[in-house]
Copies of this chain bind each other. A is one copy, B any other.
Amino acid sequence: MKPYSQMSESELSAVKNELDGFLDKCKEKGKKLNMTRGVPSNEQLALCNEMITDLSSDDYTAANGADCRNYGGLDGIPEMKKIFADLLDLTPEEVIVGGNSSLALMFDNVASNMSHGVRDGEPWQTQGHVKFLCPSPGYDRHFTICKYFHIEMIPVALGQDGPDMDAVEKAVSSDPMIKGIWCVPKYSNPTGIVYSDETVRRFAKLKPAAEDFRIYWDNAYAFHYLGSAHAEIPNIIRLCEEEGNPNMPLVFASFSKVSFAGASVSCIASSKSNCDFIRQRLTVQTIGPDKLNQLRHVRFFKDASGVMAHMEKHAAILRRKFALVSDTLRRELDGLGIAKWTEPTGGYFVSFDSLEGCAKKIVALCAEAGVALTPAGATYPNGNDPKDSNIRIAPTFPPIGELGEALEIFCAAVKLASAEKYLSGK
């Protein structure tokens, strides 16, 4: 393979002509291929189908005697709290179980801190102009919550070991209006990196200028490994406790990609004292989450080890898809000097970097040829990727045959956009 940077104008034109022709043919076929979001496939969902029927009509009593059909219980049935606690290496007192969406728990926590303050402190919104640190590339829905609440987003570079901790420490210790940071510490969305032990330790040792600074630790892929080895990260809640910052981290987890994305359970975990404050709000806010669905989860998974065994079944399905991404990108793009990408060992995404200024073009070319991708820039605050190079590839949902077709189109689009970039400089 000859790097594009070393190709002559006529070589690049030949490449362009060939790819134009290929993509035109794809357009004519009118395919509809979707790699936009981290969505489990039908094959993955079917792994849990027995959960739909695992309660009998007289099975509605939780371990504490609570009738799951009736009112009562705001923070989860004991056995579901224990499963989350065991998975996260916490105690059940540090866990509050929510409904189908951990995003809803994050949104609500930000809303609560904006309007009512952290632990009954002064509301963020009356303190001034609120800011969050946003390791980038990151999860677009975190950024959307900030935008909704008019919270200024300050991008921080995300590297192989996590966010640039020098930048995080400097910002957090100097600016009392920095109230939060969004973290996906394990199999990060979208790069798939795992925070190093050192990164997590530096988080726990933060000395925020704002005493109401909070770490939003979205452990969305806590159990979502692909390889045979599971990544392990230090326990942020225990470390923060040891460092005298017991109330700083808020941990979120979800079964959206464990059981059913459409009928799941979620949790927020934090110090017992933080959980007590959250429960105070819950008392006003709701009559409680669906307890029968929690019981359904408990019957199906039984315990934390049951969950981990189940995740191996997900991994077996996903491994093939991620391997196909890796194989295709290597075969089509290696040596051309026009792209870099991640080969994650967990999570739901491959993060792809094109030549600067090409990402939007690639996404547009794919869309014309029938492949839907997450909008370029979505992985940066306000949708603004300063280099216009990052694209999030979500390979989990399409059947493997369609994924292969979509990836071929994607690679053609990458090559075409790159060839055009070099041609325009000739």
Residues of chain A whose beta carbon lies under 8 Å from any beta carbon of chain B: 37, 39-40, 42, 45, 48-50, 52-53, 55-60, 67-73, 99-101, 103-104, 107, 111, 114-116, 125, 141, 144-145, 148-149, 256, 260-264, 281, 283-293
B107 touches A69 (CB 8 A): no
Query: Smallest CB-CB separation from A111: which chain B residue?
Result: B111
Contacts of A289 in B (CB 8 A): 99-100
Bound CA span A285–B107, Å: 6
Query: Smallest CB-CB separation from A102: which chain B residue?
Result: B287
B286 touches A103 (CB 8 A): yes
Contacts of A283 in B (CB 8 A): 144
B262 touches A99 (CB 8 A): no
Bound CA span A269–B145, Å: 25
User: What 10 new A-B contacts, CB under 8 Å, besides A70-B262, A103-B286?
Assistant: A53-B53, A53-B57, A69-B260, A70-B260, A72-B262, A99-B290, A100-B288, A115-B125, A263-B292, A293-B293
Contacts of A50 in B (CB 8 A): 57
Bound CA span A107–B71, Å: 18
B52 touches A52 (CB 8 A): no
B290 touches A262 (CB 8 A): yes
With A286-B103, A290-B293 already in contact, the answer to whether A59 and B52 are too (CB < 8 A) is yes
Contacts of A45 in B (CB 8 A): 67, 69-70
B104 touches A71 (CB 8 A): no
Residue of B40, B42, B69, B114 touching A262 (CB-CB under 8 A): B69
Bound CA span A284–B143, Å: 10
Residue of B37, B56, B107, B141 touching A52 (CB-CB under 8 A): B56
Contacts of A42 in B (CB 8 A): 67
B148 touches A262 (CB 8 A): no
Contacts of A53 in B (CB 8 A): 53, 55-57
A104 touches B285 (CB 8 A): yes
Contacts of A148 in B (CB 8 A): 116, 281, 284
Bound CA span A60–B223, Å: 25
- Shortest C-beta distance, A380 to chain B (Å), equals 17
Bound CA span A289–B100, Å: 6
Residue of B68, B107, B262 touching A284 (CB-CB under 8 A): B107
Query: Smallest CB-CB separation from A291: which chain B residue?
Result: B262
Query: Smallest CB-CB separation from A104: which chain B residue?
Result: B286
Residue of B40, B73, B284 touching A145 (CB-CB under 8 A): B284
Residue of B72, B101, B281, B287 touching A287 (CB-CB under 8 A): B101
Bound CA span A145–B284, Å: 6
Contacts of A111 in B (CB 8 A): 111, 115
Bound CA span A58–B49, Å: 7
A262 touches B149 (CB 8 A): no
B286 touches A101 (CB 8 A): yes
Bound CA span A68–B52, Å: 11
Residue of B40, B144, B291 touching A70 (CB-CB under 8 A): B40
A67 touches B100 (CB 8 A): no
Bound CA span A71–B45, Å: 11
With A40-B70, A53-B57, A57-B49 already in contact, the answer to whether A261 and B284 are too (CB < 8 A) is no
Contacts of A68 in B (CB 8 A): 260, 262-263
- Shortest C-beta distance, A318 to chain B (Å), equals 15
A to B CB contacts below 8 Å, 13 in the list: A37-B71, A52-B55, A52-B60, A53-B57, A67-B262, A68-B262, A70-B261, A99-B100, A103-B287, A107-B285, A115-B115, A115-B125, A263-B291
Bound CA span A287–B50, Å: 23
Bound CA span A293–B107, Å: 23
Bound CA span A72–B55, Å: 25
- Shortest C-beta distance, A145 to chain B (Å), equals 6
Contacts of A261 in B (CB 8 A): 69-71, 287
- Shortest C-beta distance, A236 to chain B (Å), equals 24
Query: Smallest CB-CB separation from A260: which chain B residue?
Result: B69
Bound CA span A52–B67, Å: 13
Bound CA span A255–B57, Å: 19
